[in-house]
Copies of this chain bind each other. A is one copy, B any other.
């Protein structure tokens, strides 16, 4: 899969690209079927909502779940990112965000790269976010909202919000959001399960609550150019990965065929990945 010059130009201007139904429903089904098992696990990788037992975000499933380990090596997802960076990429972060029916809470306005810089000392913005919808995303189940063009302003001032939701986040203040929206408007890309969004690590985004009876499970993968790897291991390794080896691609049919993959954390998270490491490797 190769991005066209028009797509590259659009990405530069808007900060994101939408690929409706890039994966088939059949390809998504194995992933969807795996989610309840992962969310039921009592592992540190599962962060639950403030007011319920529903999972808000699950980390690093590609290290202990076979279908997600294959997704993490999928060329339809990885190749466009390599094309943009003209370099190999590694998996910086791997999340399955629940936004579960009735319980899914908001994600406040933020940029991902802000956190990666502040917490992980990632040198530059050369890391890309990918969202893959496991469920249909509609206006009713809390779609991702973007401010187009907001990625061009680099890292914006942010404050560490530790109280609004169950997961700490560097969030952007209301006045700044107001100005950004006046300038670029707001969009909420939607689509059926299997839709992919590629978005810039500085693109300002948020998502609302999900009061509907429909889950809105999405995989969020953050792929970082290998040369741009993080320099500080302040956060646990299951949140910000410390293995900078380039992703080894599987064939395009890897969600339909059971290619073998390593699952190094299948019996539990290694002790050293649970805590900060004062000196990066």
A35 at the interface (CB under 8 A from B): no
Say if the beta carbon of A188 comes within 8 Å of chain B. Answer: yes
Q: Contact at A145–B211, with CB atoms within 8 Å?
A: yes
- Residue from B142, B181, B210, B213 in contact with A178 in the complex, judged by beta carbons closer than 8 Å: B213
Binary flags per residue of A128-165, CB closer than 8 Å to B gives 1, else 0: 00000000000110100100000000000000000010
The listed residue (B139, B182, B208, B213) touching A174 by CB distance below 8 A is B213
B188 contacts A139, C-beta separation under 8 Å: yes
- State in angstroms the CA–CA spacing of A186 and B210 once bound together: 13
Interface of A: prevailing SS: loop
Contact of A209 among B140, B181, B208 (CB under 8 A): B208
Return chain B residues, CB-CB under 8 Å to A21: none
- Are A211 and B139 interface neighbours, CB within 8 A? no
**Contact in complex: A108, B211 (CB < 8 Å):** yes
Q: Is A106 an interface residue (CB 8 A)?
A: yes
- Which residues of A pack against B, CB within 8 Å? 51, 101-102, 106, 108-109, 139-140, 142, 145, 164, 174, 177-178, 181-182, 186, 188, 206-213
Can you give 14 A-B contacts (C-beta < 8 A)?
A101-B174, A102-B174, A102-B177, A106-B211, A142-B208, A145-B211, A177-B213, A178-B213, A181-B213, A182-B213, A186-B212, A207-B211, A208-B208, A209-B209
